[in-house]
Structure 1
Amino acid sequence: MKLHPLLIFDLDGTLVDSLPGVVLGLNAALADVALKPIDLAWVHRNVGLGARRLVAAAAGDVVSVDELLPRFRLRYREVLLDNSPPFPGVDEALRQLSLSHVLAVASNKPLAWVEDLVAHFGWSELMAAVVGPETVGVYKPDPKMLEYILRETGHTKKDTFFVGDMPVDVETGINAGIPVVGVTTGAASSEDLRQAGCTVVLESINDLVRWIG
Protein backbone atom coordinates (compact mmCIF):
# COMPACT_ATOMS: atom_id res chain seq x y z
CA MET A 1 0.00 0.00 0.00
CA LYS A 2 1.42 3.37 -1.03
CA LEU A 3 1.94 5.87 1.79
CA HIS A 4 0.49 9.36 1.67
CA PRO A 5 3.25 11.97 1.13
CA LEU A 6 4.92 13.30 4.28
CA LEU A 7 4.90 16.93 5.43
CA ILE A 8 7.25 17.79 8.30
CA PHE A 9 6.61 21.15 9.95
CA ASP A 10 8.75 23.41 12.06
CA LEU A 11 6.68 24.80 14.94
CA ASP A 12 7.65 28.34 16.02
CA GLY A 13 7.08 30.90 13.29
CA THR A 14 5.62 28.25 11.01
CA LEU A 15 2.53 26.93 12.79
CA VAL A 16 2.40 29.16 15.88
CA ASP A 17 3.39 32.72 16.74
CA SER A 18 5.65 32.00 19.68
CA LEU A 19 7.18 35.47 19.97
CA PRO A 20 4.71 36.95 22.51
CA GLY A 21 5.33 34.09 24.93
CA VAL A 22 9.09 34.19 24.45
CA VAL A 23 9.15 37.93 25.19
CA LEU A 24 7.07 37.48 28.35
CA GLY A 25 9.06 34.50 29.61
CA LEU A 26 12.47 35.96 28.86
CA ASN A 27 11.63 39.34 30.38
CA ALA A 28 10.36 37.66 33.54
CA ALA A 29 13.64 35.74 33.78
CA LEU A 30 15.67 38.89 33.14
CA ALA A 31 13.73 40.72 35.85
CA ASP A 32 14.58 37.91 38.27
CA VAL A 33 18.27 38.79 37.89
CA ALA A 34 17.74 42.57 37.65
CA LEU A 35 18.51 42.86 33.93
CA LYS A 36 16.74 45.20 31.53
CA PRO A 37 13.90 43.78 29.41
CA ILE A 38 14.18 43.01 25.72
CA ASP A 39 11.53 43.82 23.12
CA LEU A 40 9.71 41.92 20.40
CA ALA A 41 12.08 43.13 17.67
CA TRP A 42 15.10 41.77 19.59
CA VAL A 43 13.48 38.36 19.99
CA HIS A 44 12.50 38.40 16.33
CA ARG A 45 16.17 38.74 15.40
CA ASN A 46 17.45 36.08 17.80
CA VAL A 47 14.99 33.19 17.70
CA GLY A 48 15.36 29.92 15.84
CA LEU A 49 18.54 28.30 17.14
CA GLY A 50 17.34 26.97 20.48
CA ALA A 51 16.69 28.31 23.98
CA ARG A 52 20.32 28.23 25.12
CA ARG A 53 21.56 30.48 22.32
CA LEU A 54 18.63 32.85 22.82
CA VAL A 55 19.31 33.15 26.54
CA ALA A 56 23.05 33.54 25.94
CA ALA A 57 22.37 36.51 23.67
CA ALA A 58 20.11 38.10 26.29
CA ALA A 59 22.53 37.45 29.17
CA GLY A 60 25.56 38.93 27.44
CA ASP A 61 28.53 39.13 29.80
CA VAL A 62 26.45 40.09 32.85
CA VAL A 63 24.88 36.78 33.90
CA SER A 64 25.92 33.23 33.10
CA VAL A 65 23.76 31.22 30.74
CA ASP A 66 23.64 28.41 33.30
CA GLU A 67 22.04 30.80 35.79
CA LEU A 68 19.57 32.45 33.42
CA LEU A 69 18.50 29.45 31.34
CA PRO A 70 16.67 27.57 34.15
CA ARG A 71 14.85 30.78 35.07
CA PHE A 72 13.79 31.29 31.47
CA ARG A 73 12.58 27.70 31.16
CA LEU A 74 10.48 28.10 34.31
CA ARG A 75 9.06 31.49 33.39
CA TYR A 76 8.38 30.60 29.77
CA ARG A 77 6.58 27.40 30.71
CA GLU A 78 4.20 29.52 32.82
CA VAL A 79 3.08 31.60 29.82
CA LEU A 80 3.70 29.18 26.94
CA LEU A 81 0.24 27.82 26.20
CA ASP A 82 -1.67 31.10 26.49
CA ASN A 83 0.80 33.17 24.49
CA SER A 84 1.72 31.03 21.46
CA PRO A 85 -1.34 31.27 19.20
CA PRO A 86 -1.56 29.41 15.89
CA PHE A 87 -1.31 31.66 12.87
CA PRO A 88 -4.69 32.38 11.26
CA GLY A 89 -6.01 29.40 9.32
CA VAL A 90 -3.32 26.96 10.48
CA ASP A 91 -5.68 24.67 12.38
CA GLU A 92 -8.01 24.32 9.40
CA ALA A 93 -5.07 23.86 7.02
CA LEU A 94 -3.51 21.08 9.10
CA ARG A 95 -6.80 19.23 9.33
CA GLN A 96 -7.31 19.49 5.59
CA LEU A 97 -3.73 18.43 4.82
CA SER A 98 -4.02 15.45 7.16
CA LEU A 99 -6.63 13.94 4.83
CA SER A 100 -4.07 13.53 2.04
CA HIS A 101 -0.69 13.65 3.83
CA VAL A 102 1.14 12.22 6.81
CA LEU A 103 2.07 15.10 9.14
CA ALA A 104 4.91 15.53 11.64
CA VAL A 105 6.63 18.28 13.65
CA ALA A 106 10.38 18.85 14.10
CA SER A 107 11.35 21.74 16.37
CA ASN A 108 14.42 23.09 18.17
CA LYS A 109 12.13 23.86 21.11
CA PRO A 110 12.43 21.51 24.11
CA LEU A 111 10.37 18.43 23.32
CA ALA A 112 8.07 18.75 26.34
CA TRP A 113 7.06 22.25 25.22
CA VAL A 114 6.47 21.09 21.66
CA GLU A 115 4.31 18.21 22.84
CA ASP A 116 2.36 20.52 25.17
CA LEU A 117 1.60 22.99 22.38
CA VAL A 118 0.65 20.30 19.88
CA ALA A 119 -1.69 18.73 22.43
CA HIS A 120 -3.08 22.11 23.53
CA PHE A 121 -4.29 22.88 20.02
CA GLY A 122 -5.67 19.39 19.44
CA TRP A 123 -3.06 18.44 16.86
CA SER A 124 -1.63 15.33 18.52
CA GLU A 125 -4.07 13.11 16.66
CA LEU A 126 -2.95 14.66 13.36
CA MET A 127 0.78 14.02 13.85
CA ALA A 128 2.59 10.79 13.07
CA ALA A 129 5.64 12.09 14.95
CA VAL A 130 6.54 15.04 17.17
CA VAL A 131 10.29 15.48 17.54
CA GLY A 132 12.56 17.83 19.49
CA PRO A 133 16.29 18.04 20.17
CA GLU A 134 16.05 15.55 23.04
CA THR A 135 14.72 12.92 20.63
CA VAL A 136 17.96 12.72 18.66
CA GLY A 137 20.45 14.59 20.83
CA VAL A 138 21.11 17.48 18.42
CA TYR A 139 19.53 20.68 17.14
CA LYS A 140 18.68 21.71 13.61
CA PRO A 141 20.40 22.29 11.19
CA ASP A 142 21.69 18.79 11.92
CA PRO A 143 19.41 16.56 9.80
CA LYS A 144 18.90 13.86 12.43
CA MET A 145 15.40 15.04 13.42
CA LEU A 146 14.17 14.73 9.85
CA GLU A 147 15.96 11.43 9.35
CA TYR A 148 14.36 10.11 12.54
CA ILE A 149 10.89 11.02 11.28
CA LEU A 150 11.56 9.31 7.95
CA ARG A 151 12.46 6.11 9.79
CA GLU A 152 9.44 6.36 12.08
CA THR A 153 6.95 6.88 9.26
CA GLY A 154 8.58 4.69 6.62
CA HIS A 155 8.84 7.51 4.10
CA THR A 156 11.62 8.38 1.69
CA LYS A 157 13.11 11.78 0.94
CA LYS A 158 11.40 11.78 -2.45
CA ASP A 159 7.89 11.81 -0.98
CA THR A 160 8.63 14.35 1.77
CA PHE A 161 8.66 18.13 2.18
CA PHE A 162 9.96 20.08 5.17
CA VAL A 163 8.08 23.31 5.91
CA GLY A 164 9.77 26.08 7.91
CA ASP A 165 10.19 29.82 8.35
CA MET A 166 13.93 30.27 8.98
CA PRO A 167 17.17 29.78 7.04
CA VAL A 168 18.13 27.18 9.66
CA ASP A 169 15.10 25.15 8.53
CA VAL A 170 16.22 25.41 4.93
CA GLU A 171 19.72 24.30 5.89
CA THR A 172 18.25 21.37 7.80
CA GLY A 173 16.25 20.21 4.81
CA ILE A 174 19.23 20.57 2.49
CA ASN A 175 21.40 18.60 4.93
CA ALA A 176 18.77 15.85 4.97
CA GLY A 177 18.28 15.90 1.20
CA ILE A 178 14.64 16.94 1.60
CA PRO A 179 13.08 19.84 -0.37
CA VAL A 180 12.01 22.79 1.78
CA VAL A 181 8.90 24.94 1.55
CA GLY A 182 9.51 28.29 3.21
CA VAL A 183 6.77 30.40 4.78
CA THR A 184 7.18 34.07 5.64
CA THR A 185 5.14 34.01 8.86
CA GLY A 186 8.31 33.94 10.96
CA ALA A 187 11.42 36.06 11.33
CA ALA A 188 12.91 35.62 7.85
CA SER A 189 11.95 37.44 4.66
CA SER A 190 11.10 35.73 1.40
CA GLU A 191 14.48 36.85 0.06
CA ASP A 192 16.26 35.32 3.08
CA LEU A 193 14.52 32.01 2.44
CA ARG A 194 15.19 32.02 -1.29
CA GLN A 195 18.86 32.79 -0.78
CA ALA A 196 19.06 29.96 1.76
CA GLY A 197 17.88 27.54 -0.94
CA CYS A 198 14.13 27.01 -0.51
CA THR A 199 12.38 24.98 -3.17
CA VAL A 200 9.45 27.40 -2.96
CA VAL A 201 8.50 30.32 -0.68
CA LEU A 202 4.88 30.90 0.36
CA GLU A 203 3.24 33.50 2.57
CA SER A 204 1.62 31.03 4.97
CA ILE A 205 0.50 27.48 5.63
CA ASN A 206 -2.81 28.42 4.00
CA ASP A 207 -0.93 28.90 0.73
CA LEU A 208 0.62 25.45 1.21
CA VAL A 209 -2.84 23.90 0.91
CA ARG A 210 -3.38 25.64 -2.41
CA TRP A 211 0.18 24.96 -3.64
CA ILE A 212 -0.11 21.24 -2.97
CA GLY A 213 -3.51 21.24 -4.62
Structure 2
Amino acid sequence: MTDRTDFRKRKIRGWKRRVKEIERWKAYYMKMDMEQLEESSRDYVKLWSLSFYSLFTQYSLPFWYKQRIIQALIDVYDSWKKTIERLDEPYYLKIWIFEENIMKSQVVVSYREMLHFYDNTFAEIEKIESVNEKVTIKNFSELIWHKGLDLAAWSENELLEDMNDGIYSFEEVQEIKESAYSTSKVSGELFYVMKNGVVWLGER
Protein backbone atom coordinates (compact mmCIF):
# COMPACT_ATOMS: atom_id res chain seq x y z
CA MET A 1 0.00 0.00 0.00
CA THR A 2 1.35 3.45 -0.96
CA ASP A 3 2.10 5.75 1.94
CA ARG A 4 -0.07 8.89 1.76
CA THR A 5 2.78 11.11 2.96
CA ASP A 6 5.02 9.90 0.14
CA PHE A 7 2.19 10.52 -2.34
CA ARG A 8 1.76 14.10 -1.13
CA LYS A 9 5.50 14.71 -1.37
CA ARG A 10 5.50 13.44 -4.96
CA LYS A 11 2.61 15.79 -5.78
CA ILE A 12 4.46 18.78 -4.27
CA ARG A 13 7.66 17.92 -6.13
CA GLY A 14 5.65 17.60 -9.33
CA TRP A 15 4.20 21.09 -8.97
CA LYS A 16 7.60 22.53 -8.08
CA ARG A 17 8.90 21.10 -11.34
CA ARG A 18 6.03 22.70 -13.23
CA VAL A 19 6.79 26.07 -11.63
CA LYS A 20 10.41 25.76 -12.79
CA GLU A 21 9.12 25.03 -16.29
CA ILE A 22 7.24 28.33 -16.26
CA GLU A 23 10.41 30.13 -15.20
CA ARG A 24 12.41 28.42 -17.96
CA TRP A 25 9.71 29.29 -20.49
CA LYS A 26 9.82 32.92 -19.38
CA ALA A 27 13.61 33.12 -19.45
CA TYR A 28 13.69 31.67 -22.96
CA TYR A 29 11.20 34.16 -24.39
CA MET A 30 12.12 37.33 -22.47
CA LYS A 31 14.24 38.46 -25.41
CA MET A 32 12.16 39.34 -28.46
CA ASP A 33 13.15 37.46 -31.62
CA MET A 34 14.01 40.48 -33.74
CA GLU A 35 15.00 38.31 -36.70
CA GLN A 36 11.54 36.74 -36.77
CA LEU A 37 9.87 40.11 -36.31
CA GLU A 38 11.93 41.66 -39.09
CA GLU A 39 11.10 38.79 -41.44
CA SER A 40 7.36 38.48 -40.75
CA SER A 41 6.50 41.85 -39.15
CA ARG A 42 4.75 39.90 -36.39
CA ASP A 43 5.54 37.35 -33.72
CA TYR A 44 3.93 35.62 -30.75
CA VAL A 45 4.75 33.21 -27.99
CA LYS A 46 2.29 30.62 -26.65
CA LEU A 47 2.24 28.75 -23.39
CA TRP A 48 0.95 25.60 -25.02
CA SER A 49 4.18 25.25 -27.01
CA LEU A 50 5.86 23.62 -24.00
CA SER A 51 5.42 20.30 -22.23
CA PHE A 52 3.45 21.59 -19.24
CA TYR A 53 0.55 22.39 -21.59
CA SER A 54 -0.46 18.73 -21.15
CA LEU A 55 -1.37 19.58 -17.56
CA PHE A 56 -4.46 21.34 -18.79
CA THR A 57 -5.92 18.15 -20.25
CA GLN A 58 -5.22 16.19 -17.07
CA TYR A 59 -5.89 18.53 -14.16
CA SER A 60 -7.87 21.54 -13.05
CA LEU A 61 -5.03 23.99 -12.63
CA PRO A 62 -4.86 25.62 -9.17
CA PHE A 63 -5.37 29.37 -8.93
CA TRP A 64 -1.85 30.04 -7.62
CA TYR A 65 -0.41 28.25 -10.67
CA LYS A 66 -2.51 30.33 -13.07
CA GLN A 67 -1.23 33.44 -11.29
CA ARG A 68 2.35 32.40 -12.00
CA ILE A 69 1.49 31.84 -15.64
CA ILE A 70 -0.08 35.30 -15.93
CA GLN A 71 2.88 36.93 -14.20
CA ALA A 72 5.24 35.22 -16.64
CA LEU A 73 3.20 36.56 -19.55
CA ILE A 74 3.34 40.07 -18.11
CA ASP A 75 7.11 39.82 -17.61
CA VAL A 76 7.62 38.74 -21.22
CA TYR A 77 5.29 41.51 -22.40
CA ASP A 78 7.22 44.16 -20.44
CA SER A 79 10.52 42.97 -21.89
CA TRP A 80 9.17 42.98 -25.44
CA LYS A 81 7.67 46.44 -24.93
CA LYS A 82 11.05 47.92 -24.01
CA THR A 83 12.54 46.40 -27.15
CA ILE A 84 9.90 47.42 -29.65
CA GLU A 85 9.61 50.96 -28.31
CA ARG A 86 13.27 51.49 -29.23
CA LEU A 87 12.29 51.01 -32.88
CA ASP A 88 10.20 54.20 -32.68
CA GLU A 89 7.46 52.80 -34.96
CA PRO A 90 3.73 52.13 -34.45
CA TYR A 91 3.12 48.64 -33.10
CA TYR A 92 0.55 46.23 -31.71
CA LEU A 93 1.65 44.49 -28.52
CA LYS A 94 -0.74 42.77 -26.16
CA ILE A 95 -1.19 39.91 -23.74
CA TRP A 96 -4.06 37.59 -24.60
CA ILE A 97 -5.44 35.64 -21.64
CA PHE A 98 -8.09 33.07 -22.44
CA GLU A 99 -10.37 32.74 -19.43
CA GLU A 100 -11.55 29.17 -19.95
CA ASN A 101 -8.28 27.78 -21.32
CA ILE A 102 -5.42 29.74 -19.82
CA MET A 103 -2.84 27.55 -21.53
CA LYS A 104 -3.87 29.13 -24.86
CA SER A 105 -2.70 32.51 -23.53
CA GLN A 106 0.08 34.32 -25.36
CA VAL A 107 1.99 37.53 -25.99
CA VAL A 108 1.46 38.93 -29.50
CA VAL A 109 3.30 41.64 -31.43
CA SER A 110 3.01 43.11 -34.94
CA TYR A 111 4.13 46.21 -36.81
CA ARG A 112 4.78 47.71 -40.23
CA GLU A 113 2.66 46.01 -42.93
CA MET A 114 1.20 43.63 -40.33
CA LEU A 115 0.34 46.37 -37.82
CA HIS A 116 -3.41 45.75 -38.06
CA PHE A 117 -3.20 41.98 -38.58
CA TYR A 118 -4.80 41.20 -35.20
CA ASP A 119 -7.40 43.96 -35.17
CA ASN A 120 -10.33 41.65 -35.92
CA THR A 121 -9.15 38.53 -34.11
CA PHE A 122 -11.78 38.93 -31.38
CA ALA A 123 -15.32 40.29 -31.28
CA GLU A 124 -17.16 42.78 -29.06
CA ILE A 125 -14.00 44.34 -27.64
CA GLU A 126 -14.72 46.67 -24.72
CA LYS A 127 -12.57 48.40 -22.15
CA ILE A 128 -13.21 47.24 -18.59
CA GLU A 129 -12.28 48.50 -15.13
CA SER A 130 -11.95 45.08 -13.46
CA VAL A 131 -11.46 41.51 -14.62
CA ASN A 132 -12.77 38.12 -13.63
CA GLU A 133 -11.16 36.82 -10.43
CA LYS A 134 -10.18 33.70 -12.38
CA VAL A 135 -7.37 35.60 -14.08
CA THR A 136 -6.42 38.43 -11.73
CA ILE A 137 -3.10 38.87 -9.92
CA LYS A 138 -1.69 41.55 -7.62
CA ASN A 139 -0.35 43.91 -10.29
CA PHE A 140 -3.14 43.27 -12.80
CA SER A 141 -4.56 46.78 -12.38
CA GLU A 142 -1.29 48.30 -13.60
CA LEU A 143 -2.29 47.33 -17.15
CA ILE A 144 -5.13 48.51 -19.37
CA TRP A 145 -7.56 45.65 -20.03
CA HIS A 146 -10.15 44.99 -22.68
CA LYS A 147 -12.60 42.11 -22.77
CA GLY A 148 -13.55 40.34 -25.97
CA LEU A 149 -15.01 37.16 -27.41
CA ASP A 150 -12.80 34.41 -28.76
CA LEU A 151 -14.44 33.05 -31.91
CA ALA A 152 -14.07 29.74 -33.74
CA ALA A 153 -15.38 28.92 -37.21
CA TRP A 154 -16.66 25.71 -38.77
CA SER A 155 -17.27 25.42 -42.49
CA GLU A 156 -20.36 23.73 -43.89
CA ASN A 157 -18.13 21.02 -45.37
CA GLU A 158 -16.36 20.41 -42.04
CA LEU A 159 -19.66 19.95 -40.25
CA LEU A 160 -20.93 17.55 -42.90
CA GLU A 161 -17.68 15.54 -42.72
CA ASP A 162 -17.90 15.38 -38.92
CA MET A 163 -21.50 14.21 -39.15
CA ASN A 164 -20.61 11.54 -41.72
CA ASP A 165 -17.71 10.39 -39.52
CA GLY A 166 -20.05 10.07 -36.54
CA ILE A 167 -18.41 12.86 -34.56
CA TYR A 168 -21.66 14.85 -34.49
CA SER A 169 -25.24 13.73 -34.98
CA PHE A 170 -27.58 15.52 -37.39
CA GLU A 171 -29.27 17.17 -34.40
CA GLU A 172 -25.94 18.40 -33.00
CA VAL A 173 -24.93 19.88 -36.35
CA GLN A 174 -28.25 21.68 -36.55
CA GLU A 175 -27.76 23.03 -33.03
CA ILE A 176 -24.32 24.36 -33.97
CA LYS A 177 -25.74 26.10 -37.02
CA GLU A 178 -28.67 27.62 -35.13
CA SER A 179 -26.51 28.86 -32.23
CA ALA A 180 -23.85 30.45 -34.47
CA TYR A 181 -22.69 33.91 -33.43
CA SER A 182 -22.57 34.83 -37.11
CA THR A 183 -22.09 33.33 -40.56
CA SER A 184 -19.84 34.36 -43.43
CA LYS A 185 -18.88 33.19 -46.90
CA VAL A 186 -15.26 32.80 -47.93
CA SER A 187 -14.52 31.78 -51.51
CA GLY A 188 -18.09 30.58 -51.84
CA GLU A 189 -17.98 28.37 -48.74
CA LEU A 190 -20.30 29.04 -45.81
CA PHE A 191 -18.73 29.32 -42.34
CA TYR A 192 -20.51 29.24 -38.96
CA VAL A 193 -18.77 31.41 -36.38
CA MET A 194 -19.18 30.31 -32.75
CA LYS A 195 -18.40 31.94 -29.41
CA ASN A 196 -15.43 30.11 -27.96
CA GLY A 197 -15.11 31.93 -24.63
CA VAL A 198 -13.89 35.18 -23.11
CA VAL A 199 -10.43 36.62 -23.78
CA TRP A 200 -8.73 39.41 -21.83
CA LEU A 201 -6.42 41.71 -23.77
CA GLY A 202 -3.84 43.58 -21.70
CA GLU A 203 -1.35 46.35 -22.45
CA ARG A 204 0.48 49.16 -20.69
Higher helix share: 1
Whether TM exceeds 0.5 here: the answer is no
TM-score (norm 2): 0.26
With CA pairs under 8 Å and 6+ residues apart, which has the higher RCO, 1 or 2? Answer: 1
Q: Rg larger in 1 or in 2?
A: 2
Q: Which has the higher strand share?
A: 2
